[in-house]
Amino acid sequence: MAERKLRVATTSLAGCFGCHMSLLDIDERLFDLVQVVEFDRSPLTDIKHCGPCDLGLIEGGVCNAENVHVLREFRENCRILVAVGACAITGGVPALRNNIDLWDCFREVYQYEAGTAKGVLPNDPELPLPFDKVRPIYEVVHVDYYLPGCPPSADVFWKFVTDLVAGREPTLDREMLRYD
């Protein structure tokens, strides 16, 4: 019996929010979930900074400076940090750019692409600067668990969280294990 609710923070770094959508796909089990879980910083709550949490779920890889700040904030505050989805685990689809020179990326996006402001490269300090390569989060901070899938299915989330709440070592059944 969980006396205290599990405090959970979630975020999407270089991801597509697909993992978050999949989490919501647990449908009516959401009601069961909120019995045992409360949300800290998350796109679901609009809390801006992560406070001390039991569990941090990270979707997406690390593609820019801001991602590192957020990821480190999560690592510092979350007892258990989880890499959620292919992007957080391997870089995923955003990492397809890793074979392309960053200069070429910028030129392609801001100079050659129709409709850009006369090919001006953006230099606003508000914009997070991109890294040479997109990296999985475990190459930046220590990660405790991994939930593979693109996105992981609702069942994967459910199994993981219920294992955790029940005090079991979280494991995935073979049928839940997919990288795509």
Positions that interact with other proteins (CB under 8 A): 65-66, 68-69, 72, 86, 89-93, 95-96, 98-99, 102-103, 106, 121-123, 125-126, 128-133, 135-136, 138-143, 145-146, 148, 150, 172, 174, 177-180
Q: How far is the CB of 132 from other proteins (least distance, A)?
A: 5
Q: Is the peptide bond before 94 cis (omega within 30 degrees of 0)?
A: no
Query: Closest by alpha carbon to 156, among 87, 57, 76?
Result: 57
Quick one: 80 or 128, whose CB is closer to other proteins? Answer: 128
In this complex, which beta carbon is closest to other proteins, that of residue 42 or of residue 78? Answer: 78
Residue nearer to other proteins on the CB measure, 69 or 168: 69
**CB of 39 vs other proteins, minimal distance in Å:** 25
Residue 146 structure tokens:
């991994």
Cα separation, 169 vs 135, in Å, equals 27
Q: Which residue, 164 or 172, is less far from other proteins as judged by CB?
A: 172
What backbone torsions phi and psi does residue 19 show, to the nearest 5 degrees? -65, -40
Q: Which is nearer to other proteins, 29 or 178 (CB)?
A: 178
Give one DSSP letter per residue of 138-152, joined into a string: GGTS---EEE-SSSP
> Which run of H or of E encompasses 111?
none
Provide the minimum distance between the beta carbon of 89 and other proteins in the complex, in angstroms, as a whole number.
6
- In angstroms, give the least distance from the CB of 101 to other proteins: 8
| Count of Cβ atoms closer than 10 Å to residue 124 Cβ | 5
Nearer to other proteins, 39 or 138 (CB): 138
Secondary structure (3-state) at 159: helix
| Residue 120 DSSP label | P
Q: How far is the CB of 35 from other proteins (least distance, A)?
A: 27
User: ∠ CA(113), CA(118), CA(122), 5° rounding?
Assistant: 85
